[in-house]
Structure 1
Amino acid sequence: MRSIRKTLTISLLTFGLLAGLTTATLAYLAAKEEAEELFDAQMAQMARLVEQLAPDDASLPLVIENEEPWTPAHPYEEKLSYRIVSNAGQVLIASPSFPAWIDHEPVDGYHDLDHPGENWRMFTLIGEQGQNHIQVVQSDKARTEIATKIALTNTLPILVFLPLLCLAIWWQIGRNLKPLVTLSEEVSERGSGHLDPVRLQEVPTEINGLVRALNRMLQRLKLSFERERRFTADAAHELRTPLAALQIHCENLFAELTDEQSRRSGEQILSGLKRMNRIVEQLLHLSRLDPQERLADNTPLNLTELCRELIGDQIPFAIARQIDLGLTAPDTDLQAKGHALYLSILLRNLVDNALRYTPRGGEVTLELENQKGQVQISVIDSGPGLSEEQKQRVFERFYRGHNKSDGSGLGLSIAHQIAELHGSEVKLLDREDGKPGLVARFTLPG
């Protein structure tokens, strides 16, 4: 799944860095070019100054050998030199640092001189008839060093600004996308019991329509769930009394029947009524569970005692089915946090489901174990088990699989919802001992 923040951050940082580096490069090249132009102007200015100060006398003696050397005031001073050349090509006077290998023949204008070890830049000012020629040279190495320093000085602020720009982009993207993150967290934490409108302190214009549409959808869902719960509860409640009365009348009628065929028909009618009564009871439980997301108060209870009472209630049904029903638990009673009524419904549904699908002569065991501060509850049967596809679908409402029984197809769905109310999950596993059967397991905080 693509992240908007990550995509925006990477793209904007990439564009920002490219723009900043391009600007810095262009600024560096421009500053270096301007520095070169400045150095050329400096050479021309120096030549003009020397021309104004030097006498126009071609007979001046050569004084370069007699000139006393001086101490440079700056390291780059020796990199800029001049000399005066007569019209006859004779050097009249020259700086001590002026390269002696340069040809005396003057050529007007700027020239680049290549020499092993160091290159030079020269400017020659050709004098008019009867005047001397002025030559000014400068080390190319010095020019490059100075131009680079000037260019870096102009570029450095841009390079320092780039990290600050990247940090500002990252911070602004996070700050402006915060409403989206808040909206995502707000919606992801909601369940069927929390369908109130989403309320954000600041809603950006771009997602204002999304928030309004989401709130309308939540409102419709809330009304739909309420109508469904109300209909289920009302229908189950209305059916409960007439079905109970009908079952009593059917039992009275069945007691008076003597004909074998009539008694078999009566048994089928009575079995169907019992199944309808069970469906009504399960629907009532389901209507109470639907609107809740988490139990508000999970009080400590004696889980071992709760399981003993459940086993005692289910013994008659197990005897009728010729199934060995038992409880395996530590000697010390285990405590768990949960709702006693709902947990009893959950355990009863799991045990009842195991008894209904276990063949005669089989066994069903309710097992309690202490697992590092948590209580693990397992209902183990010796039935035919379930395929992987059935394990995924068995928690759907009214799904009864291929092994038909007199169940309603709601027991495991209710058990699954009660487990979710306690922050747990019912898992259906194969038996670990390799025998045929199924293990329904969930955990509770101790």
Structure 2
Amino acid sequence: MSHEVDELFDAEMLQQAKTLSALMAVNSELMPESTTTIASLDAHTYEDKLSYRLENSSGDVILQTEGAPDAVDFEFVPGFSEKQVGGELWYAFGLDNTAKQQRVLMLQEDDFRSELRMDLTIDTVIPIMLILPFMLWLGWWTINQNFSSFNRLAAELRHKSADDYTAFVEGNDREEVAVVKRSLNHYLNRIEQTFLREKRFSADAAHELRTPLASLKAQLQSRLGNSTSEQQDELQPLLDSTERLVKLVESLLQLSKAELPPEQLKQINVASVLRQVLADQYSTAESKGLSYDARVPTVFQQTSDESYLYLLFANALDNAIKYAVPGSHIGIEVSENQIFVCNRVAADHVIDIDRITERFYRGKQLDVEGSGLGLSIVKNLAEQLRVQINFRHIDDEFCFIVTFDTDQ
């Protein structure tokens, strides 16, 4: 702002100097022969802050205004200059008319310029400062209005569950949002179809394999019972492999079921389901020398599905029985809205918590019988039942934790 004001007044002094120089040249015969001072009229506060001085080529003053610095204090300098005179800063522009042996010196005091600088700054900045908050609010409001549809779409995406493939409703959205929604709907439809084809293939393949595998298992068992010891040595590995295939097919069928939501969630006694699972797998645990340390109340009501919950606990307990140290005990405890299934593991047992629910992931425990689908089934069942599962491995204890939502 200061620079622009100085430029403006410098240009004004230049124009005034040119005008006075031209008038002196035209009316040279009318110029006074001795120094003449034009007295102040006291008509304006700025009157003495703006001055000029007319001289001949020898430096003798011909005409000057009252209040102008003396020639001794402020000598003529061609072009723009500035100088301190009596504690005041003066700006000057000198124009030398060599042909007429005349020169003009225009003078302006800094107080004059400073006051105008301040007035212009106040007149410019204060309106901006007053209007700026409103302009910022208006900009914020305009941006929010323009992006409100995107915000709603982002909120819908955040709250959409992983298995929800329903299309986004195209309402009174802006064209940009409508285009994005149509693309998302097309993408969701493709994902849903791909996912359904994968589930159908897994389920159909498992169903088709059940009958021939059951028949093969029955024939192997029949031949094994009527064979010599040498033949038994050959048939037993085949029967074991067939048994593993049967269990894998059953796991795949369970996984297919776990990827579909239950028909209806209702209030059930979770404690009763858990005790049934413990009873059904007691003989398997006993065969490994394991015992239960169960702390299960008589009633533990939650909103769930009985068949899905049975599969969840069955796979979790089966995992605990497989990897527990022989001769140890498996702890089952119900605490408030949580259920803990804990077992001891060997000191060299490696558990990757981040990958433990991946399909077919078994870590380094390949010598343990299993397909690596148990905890993947548990994860899918937990998602369908809207419960949270967590795993904890501290020292030699591994725990599977189910947390029910008390707000259901």
Fold-level similarity (TM above 0.5) = yes
What's 2:370 paired with? Answer: 407
What's 2:163 paired with? Answer: 193
Asked if the contact 2:272/2:298 (under 8 Å) is kept, the reply is no
Cα pair distance change 1:56/1:407, threshold 3 Å = closer
Q: What TM-score comes out, normalization by structure 1 length?
A: 0.65
What's 1:443 paired with? Answer: 403
What are the superposed Cα offsets for residues 334-357 of structure 1, whole Å, 9 maximum, x if unpaired? 433433321221111111121233
Cα pair distance change 1:117/1:411, threshold 3 Å = same
Asked if the contact 2:260/2:384 (under 8 Å) is kept, the reply is no
Question: CA shift at 1:102, angstroms?
Answer: 2.5
The letter for the 2-side match of 1:322 is G
Aligned residues between the structures: 395
SS in 1 for 2:46: helix
Distance (Å, rounded) in 1 between the aligned partners of 2:392 and 2:342: 9
Question: CA shift at 1:73, angstroms?
Answer: 3.5
Cα pair distance change 1:437/1:269, threshold 3 Å = farther
The letter for the 1-side match of 2:370 is G
Distance (Å, rounded) in 2 between the aligned partners of 1:392 and 1:113: 78
Pick from 276, 281, 284: which aligns with 1:314? 281
Cα pair distance change 1:426/1:109, threshold 3 Å = closer
Distance (Å, rounded) in 2 between the aligned partners of 1:439 and 1:276: 28
Greater per-residue strand proportion? 2
Question: CA shift at 1:296, angstroms?
Answer: 8.4
Pick from 189, 208, 223: which aligns with 2:193? 223
Pick from 19, 34, 43: which aligns with 2:8? 34
What's 1:420 paired with? Answer: 383
Asked if the contact 1:106/1:124 (under 8 Å) is kept, the reply is no
What's 2:295 paired with? Answer: 328
Asked if the contact 1:385/1:437 (under 8 Å) is kept, the reply is no
Say whether 1:234 aligns with 2:204.
yes
What's 1:290 paired with? Answer: 259
Pairwise CA RMSD: 5.2
Alignment of 1:363-382 (within 5 A): 363-370=329-336, 375-382=337-344
Alignment of 1:121-140 (within 5 A): 121=92, 138-140=107-109
User: Which stretch of structure 1 is more off in the superposition, 150-159 or 396-405?
Assistant: 150-159
What's 1:79 paired with? Answer: 49
Pick from 245, 248, 252: which aligns with 1:279? 248
Distance (Å, rounded) in 2 between the aligned partners of 1:405 and 1:396: 17
Distance (Å, rounded) in 1 between the aligned partners of 2:373 and 2:34: 125
SS in 1 for 2:404: strand
Question: CA shift at 1:307, angstroms?
Answer: 1.8
The letter for the 2-side match of 1:287 is S
Asked if the contact 2:5/2:113 (under 8 Å) is kept, the reply is no
Question: CA shift at 1:197, angstroms?
Answer: 5.7
Distance (Å, rounded) in 2 between the aligned partners of 1:285 and 1:298: 18
Question: CA shift at 1:380, angstroms?
Answer: 1.1
SS in 1 for 2:381: helix
Question: CA shift at 1:117, angstroms?
Answer: 1.8
Cα pair distance change 1:94/1:425, threshold 3 Å = same
Distance (Å, rounded) in 2 between the aligned partners of 1:314 and 1:108: 111
Distance (Å, rounded) in 2 between the aligned partners of 1:406 and 1:83: 112
Cα pair distance change 1:150/1:383, threshold 3 Å = closer
Question: CA shift at 1:368, angstroms?
Answer: 1.6
Distance (Å, rounded) in 1 between the aligned partners of 2:402 and 2:133: 53
What are the superposed Cα offsets for residues 318-338 of structure 1, whole Å, 9 maximum, x if unpaired? 333332123124x57443343
What's 1:301 paired with? Answer: 268
Q: Which runs of 5+ in 1 are unaligned?
A: 1-24
Aligned-pair identity in percent equals 25
What's 1:350 paired with? Answer: 316
The letter for the 1-side match of 2:281 is Q
Q: Which runs of 5+ in 2 are unaligned?
A: none
Question: CA shift at 1:148, angstroms?
Answer: 3.0
The letter for the 1-side match of 2:49 is K
Cα pair distance change 1:172/1:258, threshold 3 Å = same
Distance (Å, rounded) in 2 between the aligned partners of 1:324 and 1:384: 17
The letter for the 1-side match of 2:287 is A
Cα pair distance change 1:41/1:155, threshold 3 Å = farther
Pick from 357, 364, 367: which aligns with 1:395? 357
Question: CA shift at 1:234, angstroms?
Answer: 2.2
The letter for the 1-side match of 2:402 is F
SS in 2 for 1:445: coil
What's 1:15 paired with? Answer: none
Question: CA shift at 1:359, angstroms?
Answer: 4.5
SS in 1 for 2:203: helix
Distance (Å, rounded) in 1 between the aligned partners of 2:223 and 2:80: 129
Distance (Å, rounded) in 2 between the aligned partners of 1:263 and 1:108: 124
What are the superposed Cα offsets for residues 264-320 of structure 1, whole Å, 9 maximum, x if unpaired? 87776666555444333322221122255xx78654433323322222222233333
